[in-house]
């Protein structure tokens, strides 16, 4: 499995200048490869190399490896443009303003213990120091693979390094837990455990109200405020999704399966309406699913998904499906057998049992975490 760590580099003026020049010429080389390939309808690496390498070595000061890296990147861009074109999309020749430089094992060397890296640039290798934030320290014992050099809009230099390690292999155990994601309670599992805080709903409701008020004002300052608010809401939801996914993965043994409703690929307005009702004010599921998937992968936990239809209206005891089984948001009372319990808990049992039925049927579709890379 892979994770990307982001290191902020601390170049002095001279190094910073060399990096700027390198990225400028690298970008030029990338664009020139794309332009040549586009005009000559070429997306073959060898052909593009033959056509551009010597010219680019002569025109730029880039070392050979970086000319090749720019061509590889250009070839990739041309290939994906070709694929899009085949699908009928209108595509233009790929072009970049600041093309991140892709380094491989031969063009950069890193020492995490000394917090030092050398990267290839115009005029040879440059030695740079960096800082590692607390969160990324856990990945430093993994193996580093490729790295991208990026200059952000504020002029800061970053190295994004892809770290790699073996995915833990855990034999599937019999522990299968259904999880219902909800509103008042962020998550309830089929063992009656609750996860997340009631406080989240309060924060969301407050944000929702404030947003409505600002939107109706429509002034310049209201718009500025709205923008800030949406950034804050995004960060809040991200934190919550991190916390919730962590708690859920921690709650099971390695080899267990956590099952959710598949709420990210819902088509049709009625279903969509129901799905968004399940979480507050359009708080999506995609981010949560991504978080839970990669946390599960690291622990050897499997993730399963079931069709969300009827999971909240179906009686988990007798199977009777009726909208009236759910008199309020939080209550479940079966019209047929009289079974009563908390609606989210009833749903989580259905989610677990639907998955077990699915798995028992011919093509046991366990969705393993690595399908979501
Ligand atoms: Zn029933």
The domain locations on the chain are 1-166, 176-372
How far does residue 337's CA lie from ligand 1's centre (Å)?
A: 4
Cα of 341 from ligand 1 centre, angstroms: 11
Ligand 1 mean position to 311 CA, how many Å?
13
Q: Report the separation in Å between the CA atom of 348 and the middle of ligand 1, taken as the mean of its atom positions.
A: 15
CA–centroid distance, 344 to ligand 1, in Å, is 15
d(CA 248, CA 257): 11
DSSP 308-330: -TTTTTB-TTT--B-GGG-SSSS
310 CA → ligand 1 middle, Å: 13
Instruction: State how far the alpha carbon of 213 is from the alpha carbons of 210, 219, 223, 224, in Å.
Output: 5, 11, 11, 13
Task: Give the C-alpha distances (Å, rounded to integers) separating 50 from 99, 149, 186, 209, 302.
Answer: 22, 26, 57, 61, 47
Ligand 1 centroid distance, CA of 307 (Å): 20
**Ligand 1 center to residue 220 CA distance, Å?**
55
pLDDT digits (tens, 9 = 90+) for 311-327: 989 999 999 999 999 98
Tens-binned pLDDT, residue by residue, of the chain (373 aa)? 999 999 999 999 999 999 999 999 999 999 999 999 999 999 999 999 999 999 999 999 999 999 999 999 999 999 999 999 999 889 999 999 999 999 998 999 999 999 999 999 999 999 999 988 898 998 999 999 999 999 999 999 999 999 999 988 888 899 999 999 987 889 999 999 999 998 998 998 899 899 999 999 889 999 999 999 999 999 999 999 999 999 999 999 999 999 999 877 655 555 555 555 555 566 778 899 999 998 999 899 999 999 888 898 999 999 999 999 998 888 999 999 999 999 999 999 999 999 999 888 855 555 555 444 3
Question: 243 CA distance to ligand 1 centroid (A)?
Answer: 34
Tell me if 48 sits within 8 A of 40, measured CB to CB.
Answer: no
């Amino acid at each position: 499995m892979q994770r990307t760590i982001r290191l902020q580099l601390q170049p002095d003026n001279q190094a910073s200048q060399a990096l700027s020049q390198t990225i400028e010429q690298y970008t030029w080389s990338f664009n020139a490869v794309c332009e040549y390939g586009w005009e000559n309808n070429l997306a073959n690496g060898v052909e593009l190399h033959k056509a551009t390498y010597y010219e680019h070595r002569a025109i730029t000061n880039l070392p050979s490896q970086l000319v090749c890296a720019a061509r590889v990147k250009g070839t990739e861009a041309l290939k994906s443009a070709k694929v899009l074109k085949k699908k009928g999309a209108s595509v233009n020749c790929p072009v970049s303003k600041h093309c991140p430089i892709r380094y491989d094992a031969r063009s950069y060397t890193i020492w995490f213990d000394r917090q030092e890296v050398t990267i290839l640039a115009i005029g040879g290798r440059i030695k740079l120091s960096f800082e590692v934030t607390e969160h990324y320290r856990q990945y430093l014992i993994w193996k580093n693979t490729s790295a991208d050099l990026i200059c952000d809009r504020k002029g800061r230099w970053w190295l994004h390094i892809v770290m790699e390690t073996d995915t833990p292999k855990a034999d599937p155990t019999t522990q299968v837990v259904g999880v219902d994601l909800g509103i008042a309670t962020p998550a309830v599992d089929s063992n009656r455990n609750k996860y997340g805080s009631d406080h989240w709903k309060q924060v969301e409701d407050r944000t929702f109200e404030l947003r409505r008020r600002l939107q109706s004002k429509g002034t310049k300052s209201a718009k500025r405020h709205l923008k800030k608010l949406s950034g804050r809401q995004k960060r809040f939801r991200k934190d919550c999704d991190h916390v919730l996914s962590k708690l859920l993965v921690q709650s099971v043994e390695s080899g267990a399966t956590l099952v959710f409703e598949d709420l990210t690929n819902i088509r049709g307005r009625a279903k969509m309406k129901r799905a968004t009702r399940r979480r507050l004010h359009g708080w999506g599921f995609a981010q949560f699913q991504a978080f839970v998937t990669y946390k599960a992968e690291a622990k050897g936990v499997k993730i399963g998904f079931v069709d969300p239809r009827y999971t909240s209206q179906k009686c988990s005891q007798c199977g009777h499906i009726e909208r009236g089984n759910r008199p309020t948001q939080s209550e479940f009372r079966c019209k047929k057998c009289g079974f009563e319990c908390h609606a989210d808990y009833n749903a989580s049992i259905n989610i677990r049992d639907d998955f077990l039925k699915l798995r028992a049927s011919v093509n046991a579709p366990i969705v393993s975490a690595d399908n979501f890379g």
